[in-house]
Structure 1
């Protein structure tokens, strides 16, 4: 292990992150399990990349079969991208009927920003002040992990994110109106500064903000503000999409609003690098005519075969229904957990959050101790939130009731042994 860490530092440079204080050396994955170099298995309750479970045999077979036959770019005619795209856009309403493929969610979000600018002829963009939408230069300017060199560019506004511990407007009831008012103010600032307003990018369930438990209709006032200003709603479905929420295929369906475009990423290929933007034809045409976009690897036959197999498995194995049923069961178990620092427990399908606070303030240190203790007991978790004080759990969709029991029992044991 020490040798691996030294080799990483020597080759990859400083500040290359790993999970956990004592990193895990993973060598194999199968279903909801990951296995380390010593043969120990870990229940993966964090990795939404392996949407169908790690190394799903149908996806592996689809990739291998297509790779042995043909893999090239989309400037040649090929049925694969069309067969997949027709299936994908059929999952959407609101006139979202055209698709542009990329390799990563970061690329998809970068394209989405340019689509908004192409449609409106303006450059101003808005996101929340506690989010992450990728690592291209353009989307990194929206994110909060590290401020860009020279500060945030003047055409970007970052509005206060919805929060469960400190709700905007002073109360959960006032939060939706307060969020919309902040967006309206940011739009006015962009207009007065001469940038104009192109679009608002958000995750519909505010996953990186800690999934603060927002009810359907929360974004109605904000959507109205954006539409009145002539901007676009850019909906990042990388985390909630493809049925993770159980009740709906997409987060915007659950919240009840119509986006102008949707971006997709990690779960789309179950680990194969494939992503996309799904948009209305008028939005797509504006972008295509303004930018003439081409991406060598996006939409290649192997990527499309992987993505098509993902849709097959979700449908054939009833994984959306499983997310709803097992998600409700797991949430019930998590709601039974007791500890003085638990401020809230919430969940949507197979997406859960446990928020820790001390005297009403986020307790990131305690949350970090829980994550490390869970890893030591064979459960892989993550954390999120402004202070990294929220346990973030996104297990693969084949997650079972037995897996949920293991998760809840392990957390119960950990919390009982950790004094406040």
Structure 2
């Protein structure tokens, strides 16, 4: 099967690979046929996981792995405080938000306290796709427009609406006729007036990106489409992870507002203390969104998501369209979300992300100095991109990146790739990642690079 989706097909198992599998794994992959052909498995030899704790996972044979990819279990796999909160609430009641319950109200107030004062309303869903879907509807109702702008390799969900705004899903996924894409903010390759973007000031680089957005809005206008929203993940995760220069989003968001649109900050990946600089990724750039969405990390893996909004932006939609999500904001998920937030505060996951992320980046830079295939390293906190290139160039080397992934899997380290060319190692572990875990990764990475001829 030809590679079509950068986030789904790059690091994936294909049926023609099954001859290399042991009998049990081969049988399990065959039994997955009942799920239909749309699903994907990681790795040429899929991993059969049965247990997790913190940043560590165990397979069915008892082999231990280091998880350097999973932001869903944000405070660690099977965090005991989250498990206890889930168990306690599930033993009493689980129902929906058309009844009164303290959990949803307490959590709503608590999570809003982490956001700018202007963002003062919140609604709950089950998935990030649902949160982004709702945010787009709210933005369109507020602005009276339909046009949405995203970046070239963005991923924002699986609903009928959000999938058409997710070019990372690949060539088989049709995109919306009223959407436009602007270039990935590729600070490694973009040049502005002869200067590489990663050497530019936030104002210069942000000005370049704002110009790209203005051109997209002008094209919408020529086609009779009114601009509604710029939807972006503030660390541009699927695009390849571009966190710096800090502040470059401010000129972009200023341009969004100047042109009559709203900014939807998709915080599924950069939010919840991951960058080590702020609770939310957008806060690093000194901007206040009109709408904020999040999902995966907020309840440590339970299907929970949110859409927060400025009251005046939410009003036109909410005063005219009733919204009900049966399990969005249910007491069990809210208990899990509250426990997750409490752990983040009590164990200072933001401080840990900054400290351990710094140690992690330092270790990677030592490898970069010795291995020409590592073209660029960039990141914030516990979100790091390691770009694999053909030595002496900036040409992406997807084959080498995938070989490195497979070798890391053999050395009991799990991660994946991202970016337009599928050549960027996406290092995004649980927020409880430790310096000992960095040592484990470094040992495995050194061995992997030798195995891959580096």
- Tell me which interval the TM-score lies in, with the shorter structure as reference length: over 0.9
After TM superposition, the score normalised by the length of structure 2 is 0.89
Deviations 1:104-149 (A, max 9, x none): 0111011111111011011111001111011111111111134587
> Is the CA contact (8 Å cut-off) linking 1:168 and 1:175 kept in structure 2?
no
The residue aligned with 2:351 is 321
CA shift, 1:398, in A, is 1.1
Check if 1:414 corresponds to 2:454: no
What does 1:384-403 align with in structure 2 at a 5 Å threshold? 384-403=418-437
Q: Which moved more, 1:174-183 or 1:128-137?
A: 174-183
3-state DSSP of counterpart to 2:37: coil
CA shift, 1:309, in A, is 0.5
Deviations 1:75-96 (A, max 9, x none): 1111110010000000011511
What does 1:124-163 align with in structure 2 at a 5 Å threshold? 124-146=147-169, 151-163=174-186
3-state DSSP of counterpart to 1:125: strand
Provide the C-alpha distance between the structure 2 equivalents of 1:168 and 1:272, rounded to a whole number of angstroms: 42
Check if 1:247 corresponds to 2:281: no
> Is the CA contact (8 Å cut-off) linking 1:141 and 1:147 kept in structure 2?
no
The residue aligned with 1:341 is 373
After TM superposition, the score normalised by the length of structure 1 is 0.97
CA shift, 1:287, in A, is 2.2
CA shift, 1:72, in A, is 0.8
The residue aligned with 1:225 is 255
1:301 pairs, out of 321, 328, 331, with 331
Check if 1:65 corresponds to 2:88: yes
CA shift, 1:290, in A, is 3.7
> Is the CA contact (8 Å cut-off) linking 1:29 and 1:54 kept in structure 2?
yes
> Is the CA contact (8 Å cut-off) linking 2:165 and 2:176 kept in structure 1?
no
Provide the C-alpha distance between the structure 1 equivalents of 2:137 and 2:207, rounded to a whole number of angstroms: 28
> Is the CA contact (8 Å cut-off) linking 2:411 and 2:448 kept in structure 1?
no
Q: Relative to structure 1, is the Cα distance of residues 47 and 160 closer, same or farther in structure 2, using a 3 angstrom cutoff?
A: same
Provide the C-alpha distance between the structure 1 equivalents of 2:344 and 2:174, rounded to a whole number of angstroms: 42
The residue aligned with 1:330 is 360
CA shift, 1:319, in A, is 1.6
> Is the CA contact (8 Å cut-off) linking 1:118 and 1:290 kept in structure 2?
no
> Is the CA contact (8 Å cut-off) linking 2:49 and 2:59 kept in structure 1?
yes
CA shift, 1:213, in A, is 4.0
CA shift, 1:236, in A, is 0.5
What does 1:22-41 align with in structure 2 at a 5 Å threshold? 22-41=45-64
> Is the CA contact (8 Å cut-off) linking 2:151 and 2:183 kept in structure 1?
yes
3-state DSSP of counterpart to 2:42: coil
Output the aligned Cα RMSD.
1.5
The residue aligned with 1:19 is 42
> Is the CA contact (8 Å cut-off) linking 2:294 and 2:305 kept in structure 1?
yes
Deviations 1:146-187 (A, max 9, x none): 458794232111111111342164630354322211100111
The residue aligned with 2:400 is 366
3-state DSSP of counterpart to 1:54: coil
What does 1:273-312 align with in structure 2 at a 5 Å threshold? 273-312=303-342
> Is the CA contact (8 Å cut-off) linking 1:268 and 1:274 kept in structure 2?
yes
> Is the CA contact (8 Å cut-off) linking 1:70 and 1:301 kept in structure 2?
yes
> Is the CA contact (8 Å cut-off) linking 1:102 and 1:299 kept in structure 2?
yes
Deviations 1:22-41 (A, max 9, x none): 00000111111111000001
> Is the CA contact (8 Å cut-off) linking 1:165 and 1:361 kept in structure 2?
no
Q: Relative to structure 1, is the Cα distance of residues 300 and 150 closer, same or farther in structure 2, using a 3 angstrom cutoff?
A: closer
**Number of aligned pairs?**
419
The residue aligned with 2:213 is 183
1:46 pairs, out of 60, 69, 78, with 69
3-state DSSP of counterpart to 2:439: helix
3-state DSSP of counterpart to 1:355: strand
Structure 2 unmatched runs, 5+: 1-24
Provide the C-alpha distance between the structure 1 equivalents of 2:178 and 2:53, rounded to a whole number of angstroms: 45
Check if 1:2 corresponds to 2:32: no
CA shift, 1:353, in A, is 1.1
The residue aligned with 2:15 is none
